[in-house]
Amino acid sequence: MDSLPEDCVSKILSHTSPPDACRFSMVSCVMRSAADSDLLWRTFFPSDYPHILSRALSPHTLDSSSYKHLFFSLCHPLLIDDGNMSFKLDKSSGKKSYILSARQLSITWSTDPLYWSWRSTPESRFKEVAELRMVSWLEIRGKIWTRILTPNTWYEVHLIMKISHREYGLDCVACEVCVAVGNKVAVQSGRVYLCRKDEKKVTKERVLNMEEEVIGVAAKREDGWMEIKVGEFFSGHQDEEVRMSLMEVGYQLKGGLILEGIEVRPKQPS
């Protein structure tokens, strides 16, 4: 490979992945030059990255000294759309992921201070989070268009949340979760517990309707928050609306849920 022109080597490496390119850069000086070139790293970017950068809340925080440096800068969460959404590239594949803030979600009764409060917290990446005071009807909905995602990719949807010390009622009844794409019937539906105090009851059990499954409870994230899986879907190549929801519409009073948002991220290989 050392005998090939640098642009030819870069072209070959563009069919690999960002981690592979970094490994090839350690083979030789010629390979390093090709593996670090803008010609190569530009191929790992999504086609709409200039538009994404134009929406950045603080573009000056990005290292744009080279396409390689810019790529790895975008592997860290970037606030866009006035700070109401977070964008990130997957370091291993260059695929796109987003977090919709609580303000971008449709939350039943969220404008009534008797039921929900909006406040800032230093632990959140967003300006505000929503804290549930008391409701008997919990309904959280979000949507995203596949055109802003990486095409032909399996995505997972996760609710990002915490439970406050004032929690009550969240462990009594399971919530229904659903993900649907376009006009199709739900891609995936099931039931989850936002909180379970009795760990012996935390199981992946079948409910009465055999087509529904209790997916589980919230798990810890690296950023200090908790997450619970809402479902997954395939982005395809057409522009379609993805609808995500979590609902518990019984008569059980509940409170103490702190909602940061919903993340849509590429599904990792098992």
pLDDT, residue 172, reads: 82
pLDDT, residue 156, reads: 96
pLDDT, residue 176, reads: 92
Q: Identify whether the C-beta of residue 13 lies closer than 8 Å to the C-beta of residue 32.
A: no
Strand partners, 178: 189, 245
Q: Identify whether the C-beta of residue 202 lies closer than 8 Å to the C-beta of residue 104.
A: no
The torsion angles phi and psi of 201, rounded to 5 degrees, stand at -95, 0
Q: Which two tokens stand for residue 160?
A: 């990002």
Separation of alpha carbons 104 and 224, rounded Å:
21
Rounded to the nearest angstrom, the gap between the alpha carbon of residue 217 and the centroid of all alpha carbons in its chain is: 17
Half-sphere exposure of 143 (CA within 13 A, CB side): 10
Q: Identify whether the C-beta of residue 232 lies closer than 8 Å to the C-beta of residue 188.
A: yes
Domain spanning 97-266, CATH architecture = Sandwich (2.60)
pLDDT, residue 207, reads: 41
pLDDT, residue 230, reads: 94
pLDDT, residue 159, reads: 97
Collapsing DSSP to helix, strand or coil, 38 comes out as helix
Torsion of CA 66, 72, 158, 121, to 10 degrees: -90
Torsion of CA 72, 241, 194, 99, to 10 degrees: 20
Separation of alpha carbons 62 and 73, rounded Å:
6
pLDDT, residue 93, reads: 93
Q: Which of 164, 188, 168 is closest to 176 using CA atoms?
A: 188
- DSSP category for residue 254: B
Is the whole-model pTM more than 0.85? Answer: yes
Please, what are the averages of pLDDT over each run of 10 residues along the chain (270 residues)? 69 86 78 86 94 94 94 96 97 96 97 96 96 95 97 96 92 89 76 72 43 67 93 93 91 93 92
> Greatest CA span in the chain, whole angstroms?
73
Q: Which two tokens stand for residue 65?
A: 């000294």
Q: Which two tokens stand for residue 34?
A: 């090709």
Q: Identify whether the C-beta of residue 160 lies closer than 8 Å to the C-beta of residue 265.
A: no
Rounded to the nearest angstrom, the gap between the alpha carbon of residue 113 and the centroid of all alpha carbons in its chain is: 28
Torsion of CA 111, 159, 192, 90, to 10 degrees: 170
Q: Which two tokens stand for residue 236?
A: 């395809």
Separation of alpha carbons 267 and 55, rounded Å:
25
Q: Where in the chain is the domain with CATH 2.60.120.260?
A: 97-266
Sheet bearing 106-107, strands edge to edge: 106-107, 138-145, 241-248, 175-181, 188-193, 214-217
